[in-house]
Structure 1
Amino acid sequence: MKKTLTTLLMTATVGLAQADMITHTVDYEIDGEAYQGLLVYDEAVTEPRPGLLMVPNWMGVTDNAAKKAYRAAGTDYVVFIADLYGRDIRPTDAKQASAAAGEVRSDRAVMRKRVNAALEVFKAQSDTVALDTQRLGAIGFCFGGTAVLELARSGTEIGGVVSFHGNLDTPDPDAAKAIRMPLLVLHGADDPYVPPEQVAAFEQEMRNAGVADWQLLSYGGAVHSFTDPSANVKGQAQYHPRVAERAFMQMRSFFGEVLAD
């Protein structure tokens, strides 16, 4: 099945998180380059469900990203983990991840193109899984939080996006005038990588652009990567179980509203 930007290929099941949770790899292309995402869903649910496009943190498509997708999906959603680097780029440490993420972050046009292409790939999965393509949202973590905000700034129209501890800066604040969806930003109040000045600039960006529906929640005592159980750099990037649980609850409440039938 070929499209202008993407070629889709569903391959074998690669893992299970729990009894009925399925993970499939999905190979696709953007401008002739190979990418590989992950489709995550509960096989026991047969009725069409809303979908969440997920952009993972700077480590890209990993087992840890799949675990986070399982947590987000439950029985309520189908999740597609987008590949923003390319199939052959799979960082194994922070240095490699920083290089890969930095290259994409430095070119927001590329970031937007890749995240929008992944969204189109996701929509095509309705041939494989019970997915309601009229009810789609997007979530992102750290680097991925930046990416889903750029998805919104690109003018794409879906139900809404949620950024978890993502960077809020953008080289073109005026692009926010194109936002046509609700936004929920979940932020660690003590995140050293997203300082108060960046938060204030984001809030002003939203006001100046006249964005109709945006929320920013700051969690006291939380730093970067507060939803990531593997994050353990004290005071910089650190898992916070209570805040993580609250953040996922906020995500579910948000999508329960904006993706309602």
Structure 2
Amino acid sequence: MRSFAVSLALLFFVATFAQAEVQTKVIQYQVGDKTFDGFLAYDDAIKGPRPGVVVFHEWWGLNDYAKKRTKMLAELGYVAFAADMYGDGKFVDHPKDAGEMAGKVRANVAEWQKRATVALDILKKQPQCDPEKLAAIGYCFGGSTALELAYTGADLDAVATFHAALPTPTEEQAEDIKAKVLVCHGADDGFVPQMAIDAFKEKLADAKVDLDFVAFPGAVHSFTVEDSGKHNNPGMQYNKAADEKSWAMLLDLLKSTLGTN
């Protein structure tokens, strides 16, 4: 009898554990006449709405790396939505192709911001999301996208960027930023000019934005991406210490601004 009870308890535990998993799904949406395929992740063991984080991908597009970060956030109790900034879930692996796609988006800032705004709206509409507790994060091109979203005055509590270019906001855009901003930058990143960094910092300081700018010694571009060295570009290399420290700083930011369940 005791053996039966233990077995029953074990089965219950296994069933409960199996149900407490991160669920993912593709959400198709429209921006104008173009179709986009975003990626949603959440833990179905959590009941009711929880804080939401929109994730913006690197210049490669919505690839496995962006999805991995999205699932990592879901495992921590957030509902996360990886936006598709190019359309049809497209992603590439060659720097030339990535540069061309990112360049097309950057060339039309109004459309760039609109795509980011619609993605945030998609997240807010999910039943798992608390629309009063929102953050945006991004890597490389996606970090710039998160900033552009903040420049629209979006109702974000936090914004975090990782090895991102830092588009300079206008005075009005800087004043519209509502979020606390964390910038995780490679101190040796040759892709981001010091002039751009200085201009960015100055605009946010003038607008009294709560900015935490962290430059990691020895880190170059793409320091959070484990396989970034595959492109044989010394300016794009993984840095384990910077990756882990910047992720910990992100989690501290999210906990302080959004809380956890």
State the Cα distance separating 1:136 from its structure 2 match: 0.9
Write out aligned runs for 1:37-52 (5 A).
Answer: 37-52=38-53
1:239 aligns with 2:257: no
Q: Is the 8 A contact 1:52 1:80 kept in 2?
A: yes
Q: Which runs of 5+ in 2 are unaligned?
A: 1-19
TM-score by length of 1: 0.86
Write out aligned runs for 1:185-224 (5 A).
Answer: 185-208=183-206, 210-224=207-221
Deviates more, 1:71-80 or 1:243-252: 71-80
Q: State the Cα deviation string for residues 137-168 of structure 1 (Å, max 9, x = none).
A: 01000000000001111111221110111101
RMSD: 1.8
Q: State the Cα deviation string for residues 184-236 of structure 1 (Å, max 9, x = none).
A: 1111111011132221111111123x133111111111111111112014531
Q: Among 227, 235, 239, which residue is 2:224 paired with?
A: 227
Q: What is the total number of aligned residue pairs between the two structures?
A: 239
State the Cα distance separating 1:117 from its structure 2 match: 0.6
Structure 1 pair 98–139 and aligned structure 2 pair: CA distance change class (3 A): same
Equivalent residue number for residue 97 of structure 1: 98
Write out aligned runs for 1:14-163 (5 A).
Answer: 20-87=21-88, 89-126=90-127, 130-163=128-161
State the Cα distance separating 1:68 from its structure 2 match: 2.0
1:182 aligns with 2:180: yes
SS for the counterpart of 2:165 is coil
SS for the counterpart of 1:73 is helix
Whole-angstrom distance in 2 between the partners of 1:49 and 1:85? 28
Whole-angstrom distance in 2 between the partners of 1:234 and 1:93? 12
Q: Is the 8 A contact 1:91 1:100 kept in 2?
A: no
Structure 1 pair 239–109 and aligned structure 2 pair: CA distance change class (3 A): same
Equivalent residue number for residue 259 of structure 2: 260
SS for the counterpart of 2:38 is strand
Q: Is the 8 A contact 1:179 1:211 kept in 2?
A: no
Whole-angstrom distance in 2 between the partners of 1:92 and 1:253? 32
Whole-angstrom distance in 2 between the partners of 1:64 and 1:88? 13
Q: Percent identity?
A: 35
Equivalent residue number for residue 7 of structure 1: none
Whole-angstrom distance in 2 between the partners of 1:85 and 1:171? 23
Equivalent residue number for residue 4 of structure 1: none
Q: Is the 8 A contact 2:170 2:203 kept in 1?
A: no
TM-score by length of 2: 0.86
State the Cα distance separating 1:241 from its structure 2 match: 1.3
Q: Is the 8 A contact 1:223 1:238 kept in 2?
A: yes
Q: Which runs of 5+ in 1 are unaligned?
A: 1-18
Q: Is the 8 A contact 1:72 1:248 kept in 2?
A: no
SS for the counterpart of 2:126 is helix
Equivalent residue number for residue 10 of structure 1: none
